[in-house]
A and B are shown apart, each in its own frame.
Chain A
Amino acid sequence: MSLNLTRRAALAGLGGALAMPAIRPSFAQGSPIKVGVLHSLSGTMAISETALRDTVLMMIEWANSKGGVLGRRLEPVVVDPASNWPLFAEKARELLAVSKVDVTFGCWTSVSRKSVLPVFEELNGLLFYPVQYEGEEQSRNVFYTGAAPNQQAIPAVEYLMGKDGGEAKRIALLGTDYVYPRTTNRILRAYLNSKGISDADIMEEYTPFGHSDWQGIVSRVKRFAGEGKRTAIVSTINGDANVPFYRELGNQGIKAEDIPCVAFSVGEEELAGIDTKPLVGHLAAWNYFMSVPGAPNDEFKAMWRAYIKNDKRVTNDPMEATYTGFRMWTQAVQKAGTTAVDAVRQAMYGQKVMAPCGYEEEMRPNHHLTKPVMIGEVQENGQFNIVHKTPTAIAAENWSPFIPENASRRG
């Protein structure tokens, strides 16, 4: 299956690179619209980002099957920035200046987004960024289709402190050492302080990317929990370091009933490599789960399985955000009647899409989507049991009121 997949990707990439002319009568006159795909296909982040590359390719196939956009065929241009942050900027410049793409879907880690940001602003490109992140950013050249902290991190901690979540009074903030976890934890600390949880009841620890020896940290969390107050873990651990972390939680017998752990970067895809039995009851906060009931999600899942030709592959939140962003972009291009960046940007504001999460999401002028917040518990089969969701989609606060120097900025 994986061989198949890579061959498809290679073909798609080749097709893009050579800019093969379309000999299909079904499309009207006009050159193809070029769609850049800027996701790591090798290195540490490949585990998460390859699925996003496939999602974009799936959406291009979908759009072409409907006669393209503005009667023009869509054509992917796939590049591999190889989990190398400076290379992201180079590849972005290549996409914009050499391949002259009309729109780009890409990036996962915040550090890669920060790396390409100046390039997109300088060359007036258009980037769709599909992953939840720390906020404190708003570029006119980027549309953020993932969650801001108030659409994920803060509601999750609120849940932990509520009756259903176990009324936690002490919080351990564990994260990978880079900009997203550090900023998110800074926001969370300020939020917890405002809720009467003092610094003595907050533990904060960071580890490098790909950390695998969690024994010490997990036993320190146990000790931290031994102070007579309900304790919970908030994890911003990213990438494949999660696997040994959860394994250690299981091995040291930390049950979700005693010390629940809520994660912001662990979805169905990440759980695919873990034995989930010891993890039942631990939580994740997202804006979409594969287990969401309803027709929009069934349609999305069926589309993905048909495209990837594998019934075992799962869908996850960033894939859903890519899907939603792509559909919004096609709607905006139809509305603008052109792919010119400035016109599409104006047309994007107010676009609505019925997203697979079962809510209608709207692009606000602050370049962020309205999104529902969902909290799920890990089940034995690696899927999430949704235990809490907001009644409506909520607007993003990309400038957090808990970061004093930016609190006055409003999109």
Chain B
Amino acid sequence: MLRILLLLAFLAGALPAAAQDAFIEALPGLAGAFGTQAEAVERLGAGGDPRALPVLRALSDGQLRKRDTLIILPNGTDAATGQPADAAGAETVRINNRVRAALRGALGRLQLVSANPDERLAAADSVFRSRSAENIAPLEAAIARESVPRVRERQELALAASRLVAPDAAVKRQGIATLGGASSEDARALLLEARATNPDLAAEVDAAVAAIDGRLAFKRAAETLFQGLSLGSVLLLAALGLAITFGVMGVINMAHGEFVMLGAYTTFMVQEALRGIPWLLPWSLPLSVPAAFLVAGLAGAVLERGLIRHLYGRPLETLLMTFGVGMILQQAVRLAFGAQNREVLSPAWMQGTLSLPGGILITQNRLWVIVFSLLVLALAFAAIRLTRFGLEMRAVVQNRRTAATMGIRTGRVDALTFAFGSGIAGMAGVALSQIDNVSPNLGTGYIIDSFMVVVFGGVGSLVGTLVGAMGLGVLNKIIEPWAGAVLAKVAVLVLIMLFIQRRPRGLFALKGRAADA
């Protein structure tokens, strides 16, 4: 706080007395058209008047009101005089992108001296974007005082960006050199912009851009890999349940996508149920996982006991019947919840991006989906390998008769296995509610992909499903930049068809007697 006061005193002292009135003069501009507003904001930011900060903040938050040219602060006082104002008939001051961009620069400059390092960081980023030669002095002052390294780093970049637009060529060269050490698209854009206006500096700019490009190439490769793994994790989640119902039991379940959809709607229901309990609401997503497992698992058990068990050994009839069940489930959900998408909120810890060293950006929700998919895989693996239920399941799959003579109730095991696979599909729905639309047709988009992954990875192999899903995800993302999203998908499908021609049993084919069962 003391630091701010000191600096404000310094700014006030450094400015000519006229600047004090500049605040009053600039203020009515905020009530004008967008162009006038932007100009007024710039003047307020440049004036460095302490009274400007609350006004600009309120404007940016949509809290500022006006009546004619009278500007009223959120606390009900006249911004010009500080006296209580008559707010009757006042309307909110509206802004557009142009004003917002000006605001970002002005607020950034005023907040460079904030006591909060996060605010200073944000301010440095804002000033970086709104660069102007007038920022150089306040930035140099701020850097001299800065103690937090990560903030200083951004401030130096912001300073370099502002130096680029300075009139003096030597100052510009300084800016180019600093920006050449950055590794962001923004820095590259600024340099190229400077190149267009300063042909005499082209050589320096080109060298700096080349240096950035070198680092960007690595960053892009890392991001492509991450995006591929992220797509792969979605495929893995969608396909895991199917790897059990289709891969292990051999049931062609076309309603698999609808179990995923049921899981997503369960997430929505849990969230709505928790609305009354605010402290629990951020945890609605983790709580939805068991709920979705139970709901989808129950639906799976009913489907298996009610219909599928009568059709074992008749794949075509099973396919048609489950297809019908899928349509019934879709329409039922549409009747119950409406055709509109339902909004599932993302908890704060899943929003935004994580920046790794080297400027690599990773979106949080995608990262969590990758983690979650691996957890679900581990759970499925453990259930099959480590539990009594898993043992019985494998026994029934390998030899139904022998298993029955050993006292295993094969019918019950069938129902449980199918319910388990469906439950996993439901858990996938929880994750997909974060990255896709919660709508009745959510599942239809994933059913083909799921079968593709299971067949490609090798029917009956969880490891195959993992490798298949991740491989296809990364492959898709590598092809996409050249071919576009539509052709990339086509190309992947063609490659799988060719692969299946060579290896009909997929990547990880089961060997031995189990394979012939």
Contacts and interface: CB of A to CB of B under 8 A. Distances in A.
Interface of A: 1-3, 5-6, 41-44, 46-47, 50, 163-166, 177, 205-208, 210-213, 215-217, 219-220, 222-223, 225-229, 240, 243-244, 247-248, 250-253, 256-258, 260, 269, 272-275, 281, 283, 377, 379-380, 385, 387
B163 interface: no
B439 A47 contact: yes
A260 B230 CA distance: 26
Residue from A44, A215, A217, A387 with most neighbouring chain B CB atoms (10 Å) = A215
Contact of B363 (A252, A274, A387): A252
A215 B436 contact: no
B337 A163 contact: no
Contacts of B98: 163-166
24 contacts: A1-B338, A46-B339, A47-B439, A164-B34, A165-B97, A166-B98, A207-B485, A213-B230, A216-B227, A219-B220, A219-B227, A227-B189, A228-B196, A229-B193, A252-B353, A253-B353, A257-B100, A272-B341, A274-B343, A275-B343, A281-B97, A377-B97, A385-B96, A387-B96
Given A212-B437, A219-B223, A226 B339 contact: no
B186 interface: yes
Instruction: Describe B's contact surface by its main secondary structure.
Output: helix
B35 A213 contact: no
Contacts of B410: none
Contacts of B353: 251-253
B485 A216 contact: yes
A274 B352 CA distance: 15
A380 B484 CA distance: 32
Interface of B: 34-35, 62, 94, 96-98, 100-101, 104, 129, 185-186, 188-196, 220, 223-224, 227, 230-231, 234, 330-331, 334-343, 345-346, 351-353, 361, 363-366, 435-441, 445, 477, 480-481, 484-486, 489
A228 B227 contact: no
Contact of B439 (A206, A240, A274): A240
A216 B96 contact: no
A387 to B, nearest CB: 4
Given A41-B339, A229-B189, A251-B366, 19 more contacts: A2-B340, A46-B339, A47-B439, A50-B339, A165-B97, A177-B486, A215-B363, A220-B481, A222-B185, A223-B220, A227-B192, A240-B437, A244-B436, A257-B101, A257-B104, A258-B129, A275-B343, A377-B97, A387-B96
Contacts of B330: 42
A43 B441 contact: yes
Closest 5 CB pairs of A and B: A228-B192, A226-B185, A2-B338, A273-B341, A46-B339
A208 B486 contact: yes
Of A47, A211, A379, most buried by chain B (CB within 10 Å of CB) is: A47
Given A3-B336, A387-B34, A215 B227 contact: yes
A260 B100 CA distance: 12
Contact of B186 (A206, A216, A226, A272): A226
A247 B194 CA distance: 32
A47 B340 contact: yes
Contacts of A1: 338
